[in-house]
């Protein structure tokens, strides 16, 4: 039980996907114009991630190691098609808002990264806990970023007017530059928090997560690795 909680909770803070692991940046930047879009995208990712972890974990003994990445991609792509069809049927306005980023869930590093790093090596219940935790962490991050951008860019939150009449919308925030700068500042804030905690324990400051292709997890796709 404690193991289950550990795998679930690590996605919520310790390995929070976009902010701590710096994975899956494209949807994080692209669909967080409003909090609602961020939440919708997050829910789609929770579904795909949990189901793909479940299926990969179930099939882990059947999938030959050499073609595992291709198999993971097929599993993820099939689930993404399910999400696309479901959204077209039940959440069409959201589907139009998210646009091209719904099919692009399939190349979100989180999905393949978790399949490769976790689900293909662990039993089903742990894989599902991991997927749910990571998915919820991802959703929370997207909703947070969306809330910040929507609040400053439109003066609203989930479509509700928050700022008064005096507020001049800060359009920069809902355009592409604002997305980059806002995410950069959040990451810097996370690093500053980590460093502050480390300082109070008497440890040296660190530069935070190094984001390059070695830590991405997807480099497992390299034949040599």
Number of residues that bind other proteins (CB under 8 A): 58
**CA pair distance 49, 24, nearest whole angstrom:** 12
Stretch that binds other proteins, among 3-11, 43-51, 118-126, 176-184 (CB under 8 A): 176-184
Q: How does DSSP classify residue 163?
A: S
> Applying CB under 8 A, does 107 fall inside the site for other proteins?
yes
> Applying CB under 8 A, does 195 fall inside the site for other proteins?
yes
> Applying CB under 8 A, does 188 fall inside the site for other proteins?
yes
CB-CB contact of 101 with 36 (8 Å): no
**CA pair distance 130, 28, nearest whole angstrom:** 20
> Applying CB under 8 A, does 73 fall inside the site for other proteins?
yes
**CA pair distance 96, 53, nearest whole angstrom:** 27
- Residue from 29, 43, 51, 56 touching other proteins (CB under 8 A): that is 29
- CB of 33 vs other proteins, minimal distance in Å: 11
Q: Which alpha helices (H) appear in the chain, and where do they start and end?
A: 2-10, 25-30, 35-58, 68-90, 92-98, 109-114, 124-154, 176-200
Question: Where along the sequence are the contacts to other proteins (CB under 8 A)?
Answer: 22-26, 29-30, 69-70, 73-74, 77-78, 80-81, 84-85, 100, 103-104, 106-109, 112, 172, 175-185, 187-189, 191-192, 195, 205-213, 216, 218-219, 221-223
């Amino acid at each position: 039980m404690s193991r289950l909680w550990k795998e679930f909770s690590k996605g919520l803070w310790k390995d929070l996907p976009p902010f701590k692991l710096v994975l899956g940046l494209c949807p994080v930047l692209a669909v967080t114009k409003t909090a609602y879009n961020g939440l919708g995208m997050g829910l789609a990712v929770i579904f795909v991630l949990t189901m793909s972890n479940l299926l990969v974990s179930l099939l882990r003994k059947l999938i030959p190691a050499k073609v595992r990445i291709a198999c993971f991609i097929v599993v993820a792509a099939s689930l993404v098609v399910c999400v696309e069809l479901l959204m077209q049927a039940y959440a069409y306005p959201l589907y139009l808002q998210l646009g091209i980023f719904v099919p692009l869930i399939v190349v979100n590093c989180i999905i393949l990264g978790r399949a490769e790093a976790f689900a293909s090596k662990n039993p089903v219940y742990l894989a599902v806990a991991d997927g749910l935790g990571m998915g919820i962490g991802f959703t929370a991050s997207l909703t947070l970023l969306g809330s910040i951008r929507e609040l400053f860019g439109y003066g609203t939150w989930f479509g509700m007017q928050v700022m008064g009449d005096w507020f001049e919308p800060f359009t920069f925030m809902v355009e592409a530059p604002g997305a980059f700068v806002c995410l950069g500042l959040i990451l810097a804030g996370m690093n500053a928090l980590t460093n502050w905690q480390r300082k109070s324990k008497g440890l040296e400051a660190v530069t935070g997560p190094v984001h390059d292709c070695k830590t991405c997890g997807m480099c497992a796709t390299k034949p040599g690795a």
